[in-house]
Structure 1
Amino acid sequence: MSRKKGQTYTAEQKTKIVLEMLREEMTTSQIATKYKITSQSLGKWKTQFLENASLAFDVSGATKAYRDEIEELKTENDGLAKALGKATIKAEWAAGKLKSLDLINKKSLIESKHNKISVSEQCEVIGISRSHYYYRPAPMSQDDIKLLHRIDEVATENSEYGYRFIHEQLKEDGFSIGKHRVLKYMGILGIQAIYPTKKKLTSLKNQAHPIYEYLLKQYWTKIGRKKSVYVPTPNEVWSGDITYIRINGGFMYLAAVIDWHSKAILSYKISNSMDATLATDVLEDALSKYPKPKIFNSDQGSQYTSHEHTRLLKKHDIQISMNGKGRSIDNIVIERFFRTLKHGNIYINDYETIKDLKEGVKAYIYKYNFKRFHSSLDYRKPMVVFNNLCQYRVIPKIVS
């Protein structure tokens, strides 16, 4: 499918592309290159598709959530409706709704071949400039992917590095790149320095979602100059996070849930997009297999502050805890697991395909949980500790 300047995709074409993403046989960057679309657009389409999937079975319920709001608007604006007419009221109501949309969704509403309203007029109504509408960023190149891989390596090897130190290392490695571009790419990777001081967050927050207090201070102790964390029992504290996983020619994302006491990985999933669905699917899988925790901790990324994720935690009466601003050290247990996974599996295998990646990670996590000694557990094995020294075996599976 070749995309020309100014071209828009039909709903049928978007559905076909999203279904191809959901099969997860290609990375997001590979699909973006194939259809000449940005990775950001693909992510928005996937989110929109999943959020509205239920409408296929309940079309009549699509407007149910807005009925009370519409009735209230009718009552409040009755006098104005008489003066200006129903058409004016509807136009103002629609304009208000449009303002809450992001740029990609606004652009998707514009019809380039509309026979009565020009593109310029549509842009004016929606609230974007023509230049924003016509701008089409190029898909990520192999050089960009190579750069992402190196940033991930540097950040994993030097977890205390912020974007300035990573930028210096990249310059030493021979890359020509500016500091702001490094910061942008760290955002794509979901990377921030693990260091207890104020630094700029690269995890993307949604300002409309509430941020919760960090509840794990009680588990931190100081021995000399070093800080360590101790949670006395399994299922007292779980935490979740998402990390970048490289493969040949692209990258995927891995989400996982870990038990802080035993360091056992309770659930995980590999996906070609980093969104709220990924985080929620992994949490749902863990809750379906194990007793619920008292506290669930995460960073302030939009995947974890989303209504879907926080609603699931509240449904199970789990206390919600979130890292302090600029403090990914607050989620150090899962950060250390990701480092172990990358050094012990991802970097040395350099996977060629997504299938090989999924099989390799599955085998490694089984080994990590059931066969690998853990020094912080007095050289016991995480899943044995989690199950209170029983031989009960549950193999963590990839969420389908």
Structure 2
Amino acid sequence: MTALMRRDWVADPIEDYVQGIAARTARRETAATDAEIAALIAENRRIHEEDCVNLNPATNVMNPRAEAALASGLGSRPSLGYPGDKYEMGLEAIEKVEVIAAELAAEVFGARFAEIRVASGAMANLYAFMATTQPGDVIIAPPASIGGHITHHAPGAAGLYGLDIHPAPVDAAAYSVDVAKLREQALALRPKLITIGCSLNLFPHPIREIRAIADEVGAKVLFDAAHLSGPIAGRAWQQPLAEGAHLMTMSTYKSLGGPPSGLIVTNDAALAKRLDAIAYPGLTANFDAAKSAALALALLDWKEHGSAYAAKMAATAAALARHLAERGLPVHARERGFTTSHQLAIEAERFGGGQAASKKLRRANILACGIGLPLPEVEGDMNGLRFGTPEIVRWGMTEDDMPELAALIARALIGNEDETSVAADVTAFRQRFRKLHYVR
């Protein structure tokens, strides 16, 4: 019998899978479970670094030195309070790491204040909501049809905090918000916060125009840079703080290629003061100091290689989009040139939906995931499939490799052969790229 009770609110196939693993763990000796964990760690590295081409824009590979920092022993040391006046003793080294990481974050993102203690991008958004609103306040956020993240909506941090959430009107052609309709909505609703920045970003967002609307109604502007942190850091994308966002949140493990963590930057001292109090003594009294060291090392990579890395991500994404379209795949936003970012999207209705397509690709050793597009819905699934280039570019792929990769994707999605027969060719292609680029 397992210690974990079966959850009746979880779908049966999922819970059957979970209970099977739990039962195997419950009846084995500790040595056997220890060995399995070691084997699973090795298997995960093989999946991502040998067998598969990872086109999921929500992930990346870390600088090995930054990855090693996560196991350096820093993370088990609680670090309450300000550097220079810590509650616990013996933190002379850790507190210096904190300051270095914050300074580098401020430098890289053109900010005057940086909150590095947050555990994730979702938590960074919660901090931002708490710093700018009160429960019951109105906010306007991008809907899922243009990649609006769940943390900005009812099931996520915004809803759990008790905000009154309204989806922004959509400019489908721009894959962003409709500015004119947003102004009408804001004048009617008088929001305290307007958010922008999505889980798929194909073209620049109208940040200056949104800020003007926010000023008109007394709202703040939050830019969610979870996916765009790398292009922003490398100056290959618009600079949200310079264009009017009051604060910018992000996760640090996607295009930034850092540790699993969150980050908030701002130029607004009043907001920084609120965020500081939310972090300590509020929600992150203790935090993982090891991730601060890993983040600092990742940010040093951006100081040295950021411009080249970000530019290559965008160029490679554009090339992949073009070659996929040439092979007959329905790449979204053809009329606008597909993308100007490191991401691109496939219209997924013909494949049964984005998640259905991603599962098909997984059998071919290509990793991706679904996304929302401003198109008719696909019942029971997402209507889009998103790709991103951060990881493949860090492994050394360029525009010149995209015709071959596009051919493999096309074989898996629209070819007549079974996708598992494509997997060996994908792995052979992947194994040509063994060296990490844009790391010191």
Shorter chain as normaliser: what TM range?
under 0.3
Q: TM-score, normalized by length of structure 2?
A: 0.25
In terms of Rg, which structure is larger? 1
Structure 1 length as normaliser, TM-score? 0.27
Q: Which has the higher contact order (CA 8 A, sep 6+)?
A: 2
